[in-house]
Amino acid sequence: MTALIRIIKSEIYDLTRSKWLVLYGAFFWGIVDLLWRFGSNGTQVIVSLMNIVLYIVPLLILVFCVMYIYNLREYIQLLLTQPIDRKIIYIAIYIGLALPLCAVFLIGLGMPLIYIQLDPASHSAFISLLVSGLALTLIFSSLAYLFTTIFEDRIKGLGAALFVWLTSTIFYDALVLFILFAFSDYPLNNTTTILSLLNPIDLARIFLLLKLDISALMGYTGASFSEFFGNSLGAGISVLAMLVWFFIPLLIGLRKFIKKDF
């Protein structure tokens, strides 16, 4: 336990000196402030923020985590020479990486609430937005950690990370549209519901829109998800599915890290 805490503290200290982390938090703070000044109401601001969080957070987290962990390779090899269980090393490095990222996201997105006056309904929606952003941060940092464990070459690791982001955004939307047009004569509700469970970004979007109760922005997958599970159960299922998306890459990466020859 002592080794775990020491490694986590070391990681957090190293990350707090990163200029990128400051810029990451300042970016969200500035976006919230800008949207609030020019937006007409809280719901409009949150919907605009939703698109930024859903697409920008996964990309930035993937790229930063992949590059950071590859730069940490010599430090990891040094830790492996110490009498420390590999499980502790792997988990400690992830916690030390994920905690500052989550904290900076919360500060950047949440601190403007000090001077922004939101109505009670918008407060609830804003909390849902924070939950979605934190879930995406944990999921895609877990995926990035997995890629750096699998691939020795950082170009391959970064390529895999970018491919996952493209697949979860552009390629996924294209696939859904193709299925809808190609099989328009068949009932597709169950199919699109399964597809949404296979995409963490779509799950976060559905969770947020179910909380906002904005059916017009749900799209076909969101509408099918809501129809299949209902709003309350659907939100719970989406959270459960995102937890699965977080734990599975982390456990696979841990298994590979334990067996890996450095």
List, for residues 38-69, the tens digit of each pLDDT value. 765 667 778 788 888 999 999 999 999 999 99
* Residue 220 confidence (pLDDT): 55
User: Of 183, 182, 184, 188, which is closest to residue 225 (Cα–Cα)?
Assistant: 188
**Structure-block tokens of residue 185:** 């004569």
* Residue 226 confidence (pLDDT): 60
Report the amino acid identity of residue 66.
V
Distance in angstroms (rounded) separating the CA atoms of residues 259 and 148: 14
* Residue 228 confidence (pLDDT): 52
The label of the residue with tokens 């597709």 reads 188
Least confident segment among 39-53, 123-137, 214-228: 214-228
pLDDT beyond 50 at 91: yes
What value does the mean pLDDT of the chain take?
Answer: 85
Distance in angstroms (rounded) separating the CA atoms of residues 31 and 210: 23
CA distances from 184 to 36, 55, 191, 222 (A): 40, 28, 12, 17
User: Of 5, 165, 193, 188, which is closest to residue 93 (Cα–Cα)?
Assistant: 5
**Is residue 234 very low, low, confident or very high in pLDDT (cuts 50, 70, 90)?**
confident
3-state secondary structure of 210: helix
* Residue 231 confidence (pLDDT): 61
* Residue 124 confidence (pLDDT): 77
DSSP letter at 60? H
18 versus 164: which is more confidently predicted? 164
